[in-house]
Structure 1
Amino acid sequence: MDLTMSYTSLSLLFIFSLHIHFLVPASSYFKPFRECVPYRCGDQEISYPFRHNERPSYCGHPGYELDCDGGNLTLLSMASLEYQVIHVDRSEHILKVARTDLLKDICLAAHVNTTLNFSLFNYTSDYLNSVLFYNCNSLSTHLPYWFSCPTSGDGCFAFDADRKIHLYEVCNFSVFVPILPTERLGLPISKVHNNATINRSIIRKILKKGFEITWLANTSLCENCTKSEGRCGYDWTRQEFNCFCPDAAYPATCHITPIPASVPSIPPVPAIVPSSMYAYSHLTCGFHLAISCSKRRIAGHVLPSNEVQSSSL
């Protein structure tokens, strides 16, 4: 009887010891693992290759920064424009986005083309070359998609602008805004909508549904990292993917040889270069989508602006 009790006591003590050994407090986890937990914004999740703009830079791939407005709207800033992220398709690397300046009204204070940073994103093949025309002369108000704005006069929305070259000749401003081909079906083909206010509302609703862009960053290693209970990140020194685990940073997945702890995972401090050396004095460049610069600094090097692809189409 004493032997049985002794054996039972030893078994319980062994199990208790294992429990104490593996029960690691969250506060003692590897710092990047703690900080790079996915950020919830409304019904969207901000996670690698993206990161919330308040998270450390190593939580996302360079350039893919998102904001969360009021805890509900996920926002992407690029060049001089802001986009609402409507949907994220991680399996296809696709974001569905809509320009925030067109969500309330198509009468714009500034006529700016939709522009992507083509080193980070590209349009999917599934879009129409649609254009908003403003301040048009000799524009027929019998067109089904005409509208009028207080400061820019009569305008027109053309979802197939390549076939309507004459509109570029009679209109002073044009703004490229792609739409999905399926949204063309939502546009009325009847000419009974000759009310400019009604037309503006119809066009706004179509543009509000957005268009699709695809991100170019390679995220092939992230899936395996996540499966191994790690969190995906980026090492700015190695300029490679990092898998942050509870104990350390790994090159691909948890529970293999870790990256040496001496390797930093934050952007290197850029060298200070006199602004007089360049044609422009504003050289605060980085991987933030909201900044459009004449020069761009990547890991301490300065690249000419013609290597940063951007187009207004």
Structure 2
Amino acid sequence: MIINFIHFPILLGADNEQYTNCSRSYPCTDILDIPYPFWGGDKPEYCGNPSFELNCQGEAPIITIDSRPYRVLSINNATFTLNVAREEFWNNNCPAELHNATLDATHFQYAPNTEDLMLYYGCRAIVTELPIPSRFNCSENQITDTFGTYMAANLPSGTQFTPNANCSNGVSVRVNQTAAAALADNASGNITQVLNSGFGLVWEANNTDCQRCVGSGGRCGTNSTVAGSFVCYCPDGNYSILCNSTKISSGRYPLILLVLFLKVVR
């Protein structure tokens, strides 16, 4: 008996599993629905972009950018912006370790209404050259006569300050520009509130392609078989950008066995 097998690809019909899954609402802690390019929790990675994973296990979503965790306070899908706060500074002016954060420039930029706030630690004397410095208390190695101070990064021309001359350490933290200005005008302002108010980030993750995809009736996602490239999930299959344009193979071909010839040798 001789049996020949042929594989016939079966096209996805109206029930495209990826389209259906990516059309659902996915909450992440206090955010009721996380849009593309974000994913995490119950939302599959193929419905988002690999660089936009959210940790949904705590009291607020956490996104990690260049190895630093950020608390996500809000997401605005219309303007491609999110408001975040440094997780180690959340309700904490004096973290155990100080890190100057950097961004993944491929996907994120600071929003225009942000600036750096300089935080200095282990300061033992009033730094007179700073414009309206303000103190906050930190105990460093149980030395109680040290304090922290902060200042905006946009210093007046000619201002000079060397952290090591008066303070043992320092770090730059991004904050909302309006909040920083209010803090500079009021030396008794609440530094914790400023840090907790967060700052804006603008993201880029095939933004234009996603808008076109959604406009054609599709849902945005990532093609895991082609190095994380963009894909538009549609009811009848997967497309490169627009529904009913260039279809992408799903890569899933059920095996159909066809007996072409049967010969019985007696």
TM-score in terms of structure 2 length: 0.74
- Structure 1 residue 82: Cα displacement: 1.6
Q: Does 1:33 align with 2:19?
A: yes
- Name the structure 2 match of 1:66: 54
Correspondent of 2:122 among 135, 138, 141: 135
- Name the structure 2 match of 1:119: 106
Q: Taking structure 1 as reference, are residues 218 and 109 closer, same or farther at Cα in structure 2, changes over 3 Å only?
A: same
Q: Aligned partners of 1:113, 1:186: CA distance in 2, in Å?
A: 23
Q: Taking structure 1 as reference, are residues 189 and 227 closer, same or farther at Cα in structure 2, changes over 3 Å only?
A: closer
Is the contact made by 2:152 and 2:184 (CA closer than 8 Å) also made in structure 1? no
Q: Taking structure 1 as reference, are residues 205 and 79 closer, same or farther at Cα in structure 2, changes over 3 Å only?
A: same
- Name the structure 2 match of 1:166: 161
- Structure 1 residue 35: Cα displacement: 3.0
- Name the structure 1 match of 2:95: 108
Q: Deviations over 1:54-89 (max 9, x none)?
A: 54332212311112244x622211234221112223
Q: Aligned partners of 1:229, 1:212: CA distance in 2, in Å?
A: 30
Is the contact made by 2:31 and 2:74 (CA closer than 8 Å) also made in structure 1? no
Correspondent of 2:173 among 153, 173, 177: 177
Q: Deviations over 1:173-214 (max 9, x none)?
A: 1111122221134326355x4xxxxx6xx1010111111111
Unpaired stretches in structure 2, ≥5 consecutive residues: 1-13, 254-266
Correspondent of 2:223 among 216, 232, 235: 235
Q: Aligned partners of 1:166, 1:52: CA distance in 2, in Å?
A: 43
Q: Does 1:250 align with 2:239?
A: yes
Q: Aligned partners of 2:41, 2:170: CA distance in 1, in Å?
A: 32
Unpaired stretches in structure 1, ≥5 consecutive residues: 1-27, 194-198, 265-313
Q: Aligned partners of 1:231, 1:58: CA distance in 2, in Å?
A: 11
Q: Aligned partners of 2:46, 2:40: CA distance in 1, in Å?
A: 11
Q: Aligned partners of 1:263, 1:236: CA distance in 2, in Å?
A: 13
Is the contact made by 2:117 and 2:180 (CA closer than 8 Å) also made in structure 1? no
Q: Secondary structure at the match of 2:174?
A: coil
2:88 corresponds to which letter in structure 1? D
- Name the structure 2 match of 1:97: 84
Q: Aligned partners of 1:225, 1:190: CA distance in 2, in Å?
A: 48
2:242 corresponds to which letter in structure 1? T
2:176 corresponds to which letter in structure 1? L
Q: Aligned partners of 1:132, 1:45: CA distance in 2, in Å?
A: 35
Q: Secondary structure at the match of 1:149?
A: coil
- Structure 1 residue 38: Cα displacement: 4.1
Q: Aligned partners of 1:255, 1:237: CA distance in 2, in Å?
A: 21
Q: Does 1:149 align with 2:138?
A: yes
The root-mean-square deviation of aligned C-alpha atoms, in Å, is: 2.8
Query: Which is richer in helix?
Result: 1
Q: Aligned partners of 1:106, 1:165: CA distance in 2, in Å?
A: 24
2:151 corresponds to which letter in structure 1? A
Q: What is the count of residue pairs matched by the alignment?
A: 228
Is the contact made by 1:129 and 1:162 (CA closer than 8 Å) also made in structure 2? no
RCO greater where, 1 or 2, for CA within 8 Å and sep 6 or more? 2
Q: What is the aligned-residue identity percentage?
A: 29
Q: Deviations over 1:211-230 (max 9, x none)?
A: 11111322212123223332
Q: Aligned partners of 1:117, 1:262: CA distance in 2, in Å?
A: 31
Q: Deviations over 1:235-260 (max 9, x none)?
A: 13334321112332122233445322
Q: Aligned partners of 2:155, 2:252: CA distance in 1, in Å?
A: 52
Is the contact made by 1:147 and 1:154 (CA closer than 8 Å) also made in structure 2? yes
